């Protein structure tokens, strides 16, 4: 099967990326024709003001891929912006994309919701109110997903109920109405990114695209665009299938979603000492205050990590010892730090031996291979659409 998949170059990879994406790529590359690309144009859809680190981020990302075992002899590894044909196809597909498909795209809406939620949450915490994140999320969710427009009256009522004064509420509502919140994604580029994504996939006539459940709507738009194009101009594109991948059940060291912005991630390239330090600061079962308190591994984040990175035999020993208060959390974490370090050591070692210039050379060849395929598809597209040809 021909598989196309990309990642945005937003910095070094962490364990969540490894489990959610790279692990699957490693499986696919052995028995499929894979094209893995750095989606650098997509990184500009919401981070367009500061591009200083973009080029180095591309190199760091690809180093992480190679260190994990992505093999340029098996897969084509390339940079999206090095294959300009993606943008030509995105422009042409944009001509046939109904605006409503993009407006209804749930991830566009969800991202906007998240920005509103984060703003309201930070505002409330900034005023020193101790309201749980879940309660704030529910309030904003109720107002944001109210019919077509935001329900400001409902939002005002709910915020009053949790103790915010009316002046503060006015400020929140003013900032949301004013368009100040979320304005960084109120751009043509962000709005249209599913079309660019469709171009990234269709240009290589991909048969399969690995995605998490949240990205299924993008694949649906891609399939609909392929159908629409073929209906208007004749059969050029394949309709790719979504290959549903498991999203990792791994949280950050503070128990929240693992993310660079929460500063709670463990990176693949981190040193042994850094990894150990992070593991030792992980939250455990909150009811286990003293070593003599029996623990509940099923709700402990450290134990979730053990389940992934520690030998099965040791995991079951930890499980029963924790429940019987026969092991302390410090000791348990030390075991985890060892497991993680033995998993990461070969990755770190391989990464250190890859130079920037090696990455650039490999990308040069990958870009060339990808371009060859993209150029061929674009010739078919131009011909089918009866566009000007010299
Ligand atoms: S002993 Fe381990 S599994 Fe049990 S609560 Fe402590 S850290 Fe978690």
User: Per-residue pLDDT tens for 24-79?
Assistant: 999 999 999 999 999 999 999 877 888 999 999 999 999 999 999 999 999 999 99
Task: Determine if the pTM surpasses 0.75.
Answer: yes
Residue with CA at minimum distance from ligand 1 atom 6: 329
Q: How confident is the model at residue 247, as a pLDDT?
A: 67
User: Per-residue pLDDT tens for 242-268?
Assistant: 998 876 678 999 888 888 777 899 999
Cα(263)–Cα(79) distance, rounded to whole angstroms? 27
Q: What percent of the chain has pLDDT over 70?
A: 99
Q: Give the DSSP H/E element, type plus range, for residue 227.
A: helix 216-233
> Is any ligand 1 atom within 6 A of the Cβ of residue 89?
no
User: Per-residue pLDDT tens for 294-318?
Assistant: 999 999 999 999 999 999 999 999 9
Give the SS3 label for residue 95: helix
User: How many CB atoms neighbour CB 84 within 10 A?
Assistant: 13
Pocket test for ligand 1, best of 291, 318, 340 (most atoms within 8 A of CB): 318
Q: Is the pLDDT assigned to residue 338 strictly greater than 80?
A: yes
Cα 273-276-282 angle, rounded to 5 deg: 145
User: Per-residue pLDDT tens for 124-172?
Assistant: 988 888 888 889 999 999 998 887 778 999 999 999 999 889 999 999 9
Pocket test for ligand 1, best of 302, 316, 339 (most atoms within 8 A of CB): 302
Cα(249)–Cα(349) distance, rounded to whole angstroms? 26
**Closest listed residue to residue 92, CA positions, set 208, 203, 7:** 203
For residue 104, name the pLDDT band (cuts at 50, 70, 90): confident
Structure tokens, 337: 């730090």
Cα(223)–Cα(231) distance, rounded to whole angstroms? 12
Let me know: does 219 contact 114? Beta carbons within 8 Å. no
Determine the average pLDDT of the residues in 348-352.
96
Residue with CA at minimum distance from ligand 1 atom 7: 329
Q: How confident is the model at residue 269, as a pLDDT?
A: 92
Q: How confident is the model at residue 79, as a pLDDT?
A: 98
What percent helix, strand, coil does the chain show, rounded to 5? 60, 5, 30
What integer best gives the mean pLDDT of the chain?
Answer: 92
Residue with CA at minimum distance from ligand 1 atom 1: 329
* More confidently predicted of 349 and 182: 349
Atom of ligand 1 nearest to the CA of 282: 7
Q: How confident is the model at residue 244, as a pLDDT?
A: 86
Structure tokens, 34: 């894979």
Q: How confident is the model at residue 255, as a pLDDT?
A: 86
Determine the average pLDDT of the residues in 355-371.
98
Contacts 24+ apart (CB under 8 A), 324-331: 324/294, 325/291, 325/292, 325/293, 325/294, 325/295, 328/291, 329/284, 329/288, 329/291, 329/295, 329/302, 330/280
């Amino acid at each position: 099967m021909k598989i196309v998949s990309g990642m945005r170059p937003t910095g070094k990879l962490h364990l969540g990326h490894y489990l959610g994406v790279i692990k699957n790529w490693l499986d696919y590359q052995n028995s499929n024709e894979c094209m893995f690309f750095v989606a650098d144009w997509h990184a500009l859809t919401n981070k367009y003001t500061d591009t200083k680190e973009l080029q180095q981020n591309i190199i760091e990302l690809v180093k992480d891929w190679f260190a994990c075992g992505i093999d340029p002899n098996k897969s084509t590894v390339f940079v999206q912006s090095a294959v300009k044909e993606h943008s030509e196809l995105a422009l042409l597909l944009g001509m046939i994309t109904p605006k409503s498909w993009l407006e209804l795209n749930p991830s566009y809406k969800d991202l906007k919701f998240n920005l509103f939620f984060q703003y309201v949450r930070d505002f409330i915490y900034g005023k020193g109110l101790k309201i749980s994140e879940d309660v704030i999320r529910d309030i904003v969710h109720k107002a944001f997903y109210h019919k077509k427009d935001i329900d400001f009256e409902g939002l005002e009522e709910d915020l009053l109920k949790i103790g915010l004064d009316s002046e503060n509420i006015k400020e929140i509502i003013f900032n949301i109405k004013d368009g100040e919140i979320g304005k960084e994604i109120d751009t043509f580029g962000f709005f249209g990114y599913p079309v660019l994504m469709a171009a990234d996939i269709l240009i290589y006539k991909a048969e399969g695209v690995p995605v998490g459940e949240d990205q299924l709507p993008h694949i649906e738009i891609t399939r609909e665009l392929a159908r629409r194009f073929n209906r208007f101009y004749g059969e050029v594109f394949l309709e790719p299938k979504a290959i549903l991948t498991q999203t990792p059940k791994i949280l950050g060291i503070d128990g929240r979603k693992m993310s660079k912005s929460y500063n709670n991630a463990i990176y693949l390239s981190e040193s042994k000492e850094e990894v150990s330090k992070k593991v030792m600061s992980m939250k455990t079962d909150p009811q286990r205050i003293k070593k003599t308190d029996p623990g509940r591994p099923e709700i402990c984040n450290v134990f979730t990590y053990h389940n992934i990175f520690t030998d099965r035999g040791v995991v079951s020993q930890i499980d029963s010892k924790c429940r019987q208060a026969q092991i302390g959390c410090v000791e348990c974490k030390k075991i985890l730090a060892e497991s993680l370090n033995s998993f990461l050591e070969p990755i770190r070692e391989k990464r250190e031996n890859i130079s920037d210039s090696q990455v650039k050379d490999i990308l040069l060849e990958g870009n060339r291979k990808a371009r060859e395929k993209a150029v061929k598809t674009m010739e078919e597209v131009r011909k089918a659409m009866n566009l000007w040809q010299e």
